[in-house]
Amino acid sequence: MTDQPFQPATAEDETDPDTPATNAELRQAVQAVLALRANAIPFWARDTAKTASLDGHLQHVPDGPRRVLWRALVKEWLKVRSDALLAALRQQLDDSIKAAMSSLAGVQHGLVHGDLSPRLTEDAVQRLEQFVYDTDFAKAADAHLASLKADFLAYCARAAELEPYLEECREGLVKAHTDLKAAVQQVDAQKQQVVQAGLALFLEPRVHTLDGMLTAAEQVVIAQSPDLLVTQVDTAWTQSVMASAADQRAVITGSLASGAAYCDIARGNLTLPLIRIGSPVVAQFQQLGALPAANAGRKGCVDLRKAFGEPWIRALGSLTQPELTRIVSFCGLKMVRDTLVKRLTAQRIHEMDAAVALLAAPGDVDVACGKIASMGYTRIALPPGVTAFGWQIVGQWLLPNAFSDAGYETDDACLKHMHQELHPQVSKATAEAYFADLVTACRTARAAWGHRVDKTVPLDQDDIELTHQARWHISIKAYLSTSQVFHVDGGYGKSPWRAIQ
């Protein structure tokens, strides 16, 4: 809808200028006056879209690429919004022309041909305004222009909210992205350390798991690039300029904040697999990697790893260096390998730690193999919520080698002394009561640790007195996203439990 002037009279137009205006001329004139009202919308939008005008409203956006983006957004918004308002006005045009014509028909308006042709005179416009200002079209045009101006100011003002939020999320993403790249580099370095230590074959399951996480992390590094995601936000805004401020903010959250979360998740996924091939693990198995590739013990140890996978690595990881030396030497014996493979089927893999303990203990290897072959130990019942990580022989029973519980887990070494605290012929009921007592003590220490403000400092909890006056000493510390008990004892050989069968 534009302010189109009447066509100038042709040479053949000999109509007397003082001839009263016809209804057709009046209708065309009324439409032209209404068009003046409507055209105020695109004319204002056009003038406001000029760079100098926009910069006056976008001073809170730093000059440069961000200001250029917002200029383009506002310009497109003005065009789309003004076009939509004009389209809505067109729906009221015919009825408003009829209403104005009806008002003109009832009065002596005095308009003549010369007032309307070849162009509307200023006087004619003013006189016709009396008949159109109260039409729905005129009222809507004025209201639309007012709303356009108000909404324009609000659209410009939203940059003051969105740009700082964008920068905050961008900084968070940059940090998370940088941390993830550093973790990837750390993984690469640690894998190289494993190779250099000669442990690539032995630790292959752990390296393989880490490789999967590493590939995923490298893909996240590419996909969640801060520059890429900021560009995606700008593109999304440009493609949907009429979106609300809330929707534009959601685009930032969905791209940048989510990108930072993906980076943190990918880095977290690397943490545990990285620990499992970390420097302490390499140090634990250094003697194995230092053996010649053709060494029978080394080859046998790797063969058993191929047979058993992670449980074999974990069982050997809790041994002392002298115990590991003994085990590795025995792995070179076919008798030992055959005994382990035959006994430790998939259904009995939980007896791995017990079998390894028998081999690691001083004594004749033939006797140890005999005990492994005839193992008939029964696992004790565990308190609700407790999950065992491997088992060890205590008397005639199998007690956890390590375990997890709500909010904490034990390390692989702190329960190795349980046989010192129990009678050699301890009953199953007593063994279960003793272990329940130990778990209760751990839970008590975990609750105390959980109330500490500074959880970076380990907690030593002494004299937790429970059943049979056993006094428990427990040490607990932060570990990954949970906590870890790294020492627990009930008095070793002086524990009251040792006197109870």
Least confidently predicted of 131-145, 183-197, 232-246, 257-271:
131-145
DSSP-based three-state secondary structure for 452 = coil
108 or 201: which leads in pLDDT: 201
pLDDT higher than threshold 90 for residue 287: yes
pLDDT higher than threshold 70 for residue 431: yes
Cα distances from 477 to residues 22, 154, 455, 471, in angstroms, run 97, 52, 7, 20
Residue 118: cis peptide before it, omega within 30 degrees of 0: yes
CA distance 396 to 378: 7
Q: Which long-range contacts (CB under 8 A, 24 or more apart) does 85-91 make?
A: 85/41, 85/144, 85/147, 85/148, 86/1, 86/38, 86/41, 86/42, 88/140, 88/144, 89/1, 89/38, 89/137, 89/140, 89/141, 89/144, 90/1
388 phi, psi to nearest 5 deg: -80, 145
The whole model's pTM is what? 0.62
Least confidently predicted of 64-68, 179-183, 454-458:
454-458
- Asked if residues 413 and 320 have their Cβ atoms less than 8 Å apart, the reply is no
Rounded to the nearest integer, the mean pLDDT of the chain is 89
pLDDT higher than threshold 60 for residue 9: no
DSSP-based three-state secondary structure for 252 = helix
110 or 2: which leads in pLDDT: 110
- pLDDT level of residue 1 (50, 70, 90 thresholds): very low
Cα 2 to its chain centre, rounded Å, is 52
- Asked if residues 48 and 54 have their Cβ atoms less than 8 Å apart, the reply is yes
Name residues whose C-beta falls within 8 Å of residue 481's C-beta, 6 or more positions apart in sequence: 268
CA distance 286 to 198: 8
pLDDT tens-digit map of 23-43: 888 888 888 889 888 999 999
- pLDDT level of residue 46 (50, 70, 90 thresholds): very high
Cα distances from 368 to residues 131, 298, 302, 364, in angstroms, run 112, 20, 21, 6
Percent of the chain with pLDDT over 90: 61
CA distance 355 to 371: 8
The token pair at 307 is 């047979």
Q: Which residue has the tokens 């200023």?
A: 122
Q: Nearest to residue 38, comparing CAs of 165, 110, 162, 141? A: 141
